[in-house]
Homo-oligomer: A and B are copies of this chain.
């Protein structure tokens, strides 16, 4: 249980647990950059994530009201995810956190990637020096 445990007493802890997932912030970043996106689109933008986990994360973000899920029962079905107002609110705070971290890293003499002007919410786990075969094949687009 450990991290799965429903604490939810402390708002902070609660929201932190939502962002905690390894891909979560990256997904948010994709939605931020690309706007409303379909499931497959997101999956393609987040190399290495499995459908299972992507679904989990999306569901969690949805139940939190951070993303909106729009389902069209066409054939084939079309599902579109987008950031809600809460997602935007969250971004503002996250940007501050990002900025703070940047300052620290700069002070530490580490090169920071780039400022851009928006938060790039979070990159995926790097594949390079991974001990385990992290992501398998890239879905050739």
A residues apposed to B, CB below 8 Å:
1-7, 9-16, 19-22, 25-26, 64-65, 86, 89-90, 93-94, 96-102, 104-105, 108, 112-113, 119-132, 134
A13 and B122 form a contact (CB under 8 A): yes
From the candidates B1, B20, B128, name the one contacting A20 in the complex (CB within 8 A). B20
* Chain B residues, CB < 8 A from A64: 104
Chain B, Cβ-Cβ closest to A126: B5
* Chain B residues, CB < 8 A from A126: 5-7, 9
Bound together, the chains give a CA A36 to CA B38 distance in angstroms of: 49
Could you list some 11 contacts between A and B, CB below 8 A? A1-B131, A4-B125, A5-B130, A5-B134, A10-B113, A10-B134, A11-B101, A12-B121, A13-B122, A15-B104, A93-B100
